Structure 1
Amino acid sequence: MKKIYLIVGILFILMIMVVIAIGLLLVPSSDNILNFKSEGNIAVINIDNELVLKNSGSSGLFGNNNPDVNDYIGALNDAENNPNIKAILLKVNCPGGEVIASEKLARKVKEVSKKKPVVAYIETLGASGAYMTIAPANYIVAEKHSIVGSIGVRMDVIHYYGLMKKLGINATVIKAGKYKDIGSPYRPMTPEEKACLEKMINETYMDFVKWVAENRHMTINETLKAANGRIYSGSDAKKVGLVDAVGTEEDAINITAKIANISNPKTEEYTPSKPAGIFSMMSNMVYDLGYGIGKGFGETEKSNIGMYYE
């Protein structure tokens, strides 16, 4: 019996060693990355995922993590600092995301657009926070039947006190501070609390409207007419001033080249991707464990509340 345990243990160790070796092979070296980004003059960054400040989720043992906003900002920095890159094309298929994440990326796009031409191409979806992000671009192209707009802010507050009552579950909240448990799932929201949250939402919404108006060279009234949460097709978005042209990806590349005075456009992939492999997964596990423990000790019911541009 001891021999069987020994054999199983050895096989397990060998399996772990094989997994680690494969993981090392899958992680690209920095030299490869530098060599890869050496020939193009238009950097292409695909914004495909929900905009979040931190995304550690992995698609599997050897899968890549989805980029978060800091990854996109890093890609923009790389393109901005590469003298061979003359312009940047943002290829957008994104529904929006967290308020702060969207605002951070939007500010970076505006910063870069003052130094190098930035063109946004909405392929299928450029809505809410994603639209906020590309509003400062020097030019926006959208597919005719893409979805554009949805300018607004949403806050979800989940209540399950009714279900708890049916199940005979009671929760006691001990608090100091009148609004400390605002948005609590354990009780109905008071009119005063709802008014407080609505004020936050309206302030955030008006900041969104002003951002679009400023960067799309529209008046506040023009923007408010388009910014009622409605989604538009690419062609309708052009009519209300949210995009500059209706066209294809090829059109977007040609427009980018024209704005940047590039006679022979060559695109270069700058979309960020986090390293694949066992080490990436293990580092994420350690981070999430620490984050989870810390969050557990510092948990408040405000985790029930979140604002989103989506």
Structure 2
Amino acid sequence: MDVFERDFYEERRRKWRRSAFWRGFLLAAVLALIIGGLTFSDSLGVPREHVARFEVSGVIGDDPDRDELLAEIAETDTVRALLLRINSPGGSTAGSEALFESIRAIAEKKPVVAVLGEVAASGGYIAAIAADHIVSRGNTLTGSIGVIMEYPDLTGVMDYLNIGLETVRSSELKAEPSPFRPTNPAARALDEALVADGFAWFRDLVGTRRGLSGNALANVATGAVFTGRGALENGLVDEIGGEAAALDWLESRDGGITDLPVRDWTVEHDEPSVTRLLGKIAATGGILGEISRGQGPKLYSLTR
């Protein structure tokens, strides 16, 4: 091989090494961009496909921010399913109704499973039956299918302190009930009708969602609380277990869910957290808490 041929082949080898280097560099850059893009999208709150986890805890009330977040879950294509964790004694009947409807809107588009914690009673159970499948711990307290309205009677204290109250109102039913005067029979009958109507809605909802009727429905719609084991025997839940059992059920519905990450979706409220905490503390006081905040009485689906 003469000098010219040797130089020719040497130059070709140098070009091949340079091209191999750049090919490797470009491949590494592409992989870095892909991995970085996935990480970047996660940091922006736009993750890849996943199972959304949403927690219902504390006293349930009307919460537009919560309902807006649940609507976003329903419309987000990367959310393949919803895992609903419930640890709530209930709350207002209207607030529980709004939560139920928001969860059902998700269930129309993707599977929803509920996992019951320490307590999922009354309004908490209304949230649970919005799911397609309910998993309960054996010692979860659940059920409490009923409605309550209560308010204080301060007339004895007023008599003791010799305090009177003058009221001008358009009718005997206006501003009833009031803690400052005895409830008249007509107002009492109206309150009982409101409770009966709310209870009929709750009972029928349980019957429809859990496939219960007749004595089977009557036996659970007594306001009584059941353990998870008792709830399973009475058809109020589907199985005993925890989050692992819930994920197994989701995977049985959609094999594509297998090995997907579970990501928490949480509600962000504008008001300070201390204010919300005080509001929740007041809410646990039932109607007394509501009167103290000037909101008036409400129907409650709240375990007692």
**What TM-score, normalized by structure 1, do the two folds share?**
0.73
Which protein has greater RCO, CA pairs closer than 8 Å, 6+ apart?
1
User: Any idea what the Cα deviations from partners look like across 1:57-102, whole Å, max 9, x if unmatched?
Assistant: xxxxxxxxxxxx3233222222222212111000000111111111
- Map 1:126-141 → 2, pairs under 5 A: 126-141=120-135
- Whole-Å Cα distance in 2 between the matches of residues 237 and 98 of structure 1? 22
Deviation at 1:249, TM superposition (A): 1.6
User: Any idea what the Cα deviations from partners look like across 1:189-236, whole Å, max 9, x if unmatched?
Assistant: 123321221111011101100111111122254222101111111111
Corresponding residue number in structure 2 for 1:273? 268
Instruction: Give aligned pairs, total.
Output: 246
User: Any idea what the Cα deviations from partners look like across 1:154-186, whole Å, max 9, x if unmatched?
Assistant: 101211011011111111111111211321222
Corresponding residue number in structure 2 for 1:255? 249
SS at match of 2:231: helix
- Whole-Å Cα distance in 1 between the matches of residues 236 and 52 of structure 2? 23
2:94 to 92, 97, 100: 100
- Whole-Å Cα distance in 2 between the matches of residues 248 and 97 of structure 1? 24
The letter for the 2-side match of 1:252 is A
Corresponding residue number in structure 2 for 1:238? 232
SS at match of 2:117: strand
Matched-pair contact (CA < 8 Å) for 1:136–1:216: no
Deviation at 1:108, TM superposition (A): 1.5
Moved more, 212-221 or 123-132: 212-221
- Whole-Å Cα distance in 1 between the matches of residues 143 and 193 of structure 2? 22
Corresponding residue number in structure 2 for 1:21? none
Corresponding residue number in structure 2 for 1:48? 57
Corresponding residue number in structure 1 for 2:17? none
Larger Rg over CA atoms = 2
Q: Give the unaligned 5+ runs of structure 1.
A: 1-30, 54-68, 289-298
Q: 1:33 to 1:306 in 2, by over 3 A?
A: farther
Corresponding residue number in structure 1 for 2:6? none
Moved more, 139-148 or 188-197: 188-197
- Map 1:38-187 → 2, pairs under 5 A: 38-53=47-62, 69-187=63-181
- Whole-Å Cα distance in 1 between the matches of residues 69 and 124 of structure 2? 16
Deviation at 1:240, TM superposition (A): 0.6
Matched-pair contact (CA < 8 Å) for 2:135–2:241: yes
Q: Which of structure 1's runs of 4+ aligned residues deviate more than 6 A?
A: 31-34
1:306 to 281, 298, 304: 298
Q: Give the unaligned 5+ runs of structure 2.
A: 1-39, 280-290
Deviation at 1:271, TM superposition (A): 2.3
Corresponding residue number in structure 2 for 1:229? 223
- Whole-Å Cα distance in 1 between the matches of residues 263 and 295 of structure 2? 40
Corresponding residue number in structure 2 for 1:13? none
Matched-pair contact (CA < 8 Å) for 1:93–1:124: yes
Q: 1:221 to 1:37 in 2, by over 3 A?
A: farther
- Whole-Å Cα distance in 1 between the matches of residues 109 and 128 of structure 2? 15
Matched-pair contact (CA < 8 Å) for 1:99–1:308: yes
The letter for the 1-side match of 2:99 is L
**Percent sequence identity over aligned pairs:** 25
- Whole-Å Cα distance in 2 between the matches of residues 34 and 208 of structure 1? 41
Deviation at 1:140, TM superposition (A): 0.4
The letter for the 2-side match of 1:199 is A
Corresponding residue number in structure 2 for 1:58? none
- Whole-Å Cα distance in 2 between the matches of residues 127 and 188 of structure 1? 31
The letter for the 2-side match of 1:39 is R
Matched-pair contact (CA < 8 Å) for 1:123–1:249: no
Q: 1:138 to 1:177 in 2, by over 3 A?
A: same
- Whole-Å Cα distance in 1 between the matches of residues 180 and 241 of structure 2? 50
SS at match of 2:59: coil
- Whole-Å Cα distance in 1 between the matches of residues 93 and 167 of structure 2? 29
- Whole-Å Cα distance in 2 between the matches of residues 167 and 148 of structure 1? 43
Matched-pair contact (CA < 8 Å) for 2:173–2:186: no
SS at match of 2:175: coil
- Whole-Å Cα distance in 1 between the matches of residues 44 and 259 of structure 2? 20
Moved more, 172-181 or 96-105: 172-181
Corresponding residue number in structure 2 for 1:264? 259
